[in-house]
Amino acid sequence: MSHSVELDGIGMRFGSTRAVSGVSFTVQAGEFFSILGPSGCGKTTILRMIAGFLEPTEGRVLIGDRDMRGLGPNQRPTAMIFQSLALFPLMPVWENIAFGLEARGVGRAERRKRADDLLRLIALEGYGDRMPGELSGGQRQRVAIARALAVEPGVLLLDEPLSALDLKLRQHMRAELRALQKRTGVTFIYITHDQSEALAMSDRVAVMSNGLLQQVATPRQLYDNPATPFVARFVGETNAIAGRVSAIGDGMARVDTALGPLHGRADRSLAIGQAATVYVRPEALMPGVGANTLRARVSRMDFEGAFALVHGQFPDGAALTAAVPSTRLGDAPALGTDASFSFAPEHAVVLADA
């Protein structure tokens, strides 16, 4: 029942501004796929092109291997969950859920039965006759999901549906969405600007910036092997140290920086002499001397329980952040002193500057 979605070089221009250019990726049937990016990066435009509210100015959208050109949102096997949820406030919950069935000419008794089935699925049995305004935020959220699932879509499109909820409920709904996706097997395409949401829920994530696709990868790959400087900085926290490539070999590169030579993993596209940056995650930095050693003055320490965030300053004024596990806090340097931090080369990534 679930469909794959293929974007083949799609682009969207509004007047003279390009909202999206040359984006291609394929979402497998039954996958939980997220599109992650800051606001204005074109992710909502992509979702609306998949839904059929926008016709791409270039490229093709294929759903279940069928070209969707010229088909409106009511003719595509997709259902959308809007950021505002867009429940119909003047219809009781069950009519909301059954609205898509009503549009397909399903009889009233059958509609009611299907709505009740879906209410059971979202654990809101007996809420069918209430009005949407009488429900809590999380309940409305679930009703919106049920309403979209009622039409048995091949692809469910979610436009930041959790952004209006408070943190606790959001975390709860993440797990619930994930479970619902597994149970129904429907392809989910989920739009978000919240990277932890994308990493926690998705099978794969596409990262967008300025209308361009940056990387498509599993959350783990995205975090460990960012493909572009944007991804390295946008997904998770990172320390960036700029320099120039001085040696390459065996999947590793040496970068000469103002803080001395540093080693990190690199792909083949780098050339000697090229401007490049070494990216190191805070949790990869440990107090002490090692293969790559940085010296910085410790300016602040935030104790977070499981670990402490140690903030330092390099001689050139740039900032350093290290996440030191509480179990190793004994080695942590004192505030105001110059200290050494080191990281293993395989925990750092070298990327050419854009």
Partner 1 sequence: MRDLYARFGGGLATIFLTLVLIWLAAMVLAPNLMMIDYALRPNLPPLQQGGPQDVRSLDNFLYLANEGVHRAIFLKTIWASALVAALTLVVCYPVAFWMAQRATPGQLSIALMLVIIPFFINEVLRTLAWFILLAYRGPLNAVLQGIGLIDAPVRWQGNGGVLAGMVYAYILFMLLPIYNAIESLDKSQLEAARDLGAGTIRTHRRVVIPHAKAGIATGCVFTFMLAAGSYVAPALLGSPGSRWFTEIIYNWFFEGGDWNRGAAYALTLLVLCLAVVLVTLRVFRVNLTDVAK
Residues of the shown chain interacting with partner 1 in the complex, contacts defined by CB under 8 A: 51-53, 72-74, 78-80, 82-84, 86-88, 90-91, 99-100, 102-104, 147-148, 151
Calculate helix-pair angle for 108-121, 137-150, nearest 10 degrees.
Answer: 130
Would you give the DSSP letter of residue 315?
A: T
Q: Which of residues 84 and 299 has its CB atom nearest to partner 1 in the complex?
A: 84
Q: Which of residues 82 and 314 has its CB atom nearest to partner 1 in the complex?
A: 82
- Quote the least distance from Cβ 152 to partner 1, whole Å: 11
Q: Which of residues 95 and 197 has its CB atom nearest to partner 1 in the complex?
A: 95
- Quote the least distance from Cβ 74 to partner 1, whole Å: 5
For the chain, the first-to-last Cα distance in angstroms comes to: 42
Q: What three-state secondary structure class fits 304? A: coil
Q: Which of residues 37 and 77 has its CB atom nearest to partner 1 in the complex?
A: 77
- Quote the least distance from Cβ 190 to partner 1, whole Å: 16
Element (H, E) at 47: helix 43-51
Q: What three-state secondary structure class fits 260? A: strand
> Checking phi first, is residue 347 left (phi over 0); if not, alpha (psi -120 to 50) or beta?
alpha
Q: What three-state secondary structure class fits 333? A: coil
DSSP 175-237: HHHHHHHHHH--EEEEEES-HHHHHHH-SEEEEEETTEEEEEE-HHHHHHS-SSHHHHHHSS-
Q: Which of residues 49 and 235 has its CB atom nearest to partner 1 in the complex?
A: 49
- Tokens 């995650």 identify what position? 281
- Quote the least distance from Cβ 183 to partner 1, whole Å: 21
- Quote the least distance from Cβ 156 to partner 1, whole Å: 11
Q: Which of residues 94 and 341 has its CB atom nearest to partner 1 in the complex?
A: 94
Q: Which of residues 100 and 264 has its CB atom nearest to partner 1 in the complex?
A: 100
- Quote the least distance from Cβ 72 to partner 1, whole Å: 7
Rounded-to-integer distance, Cα 303 and Cα 288, Å = 19
**Kind of pairing, strands 32-36 and 204-209?**
parallel
- Quote the least distance from Cβ 185 to partner 1, whole Å: 21
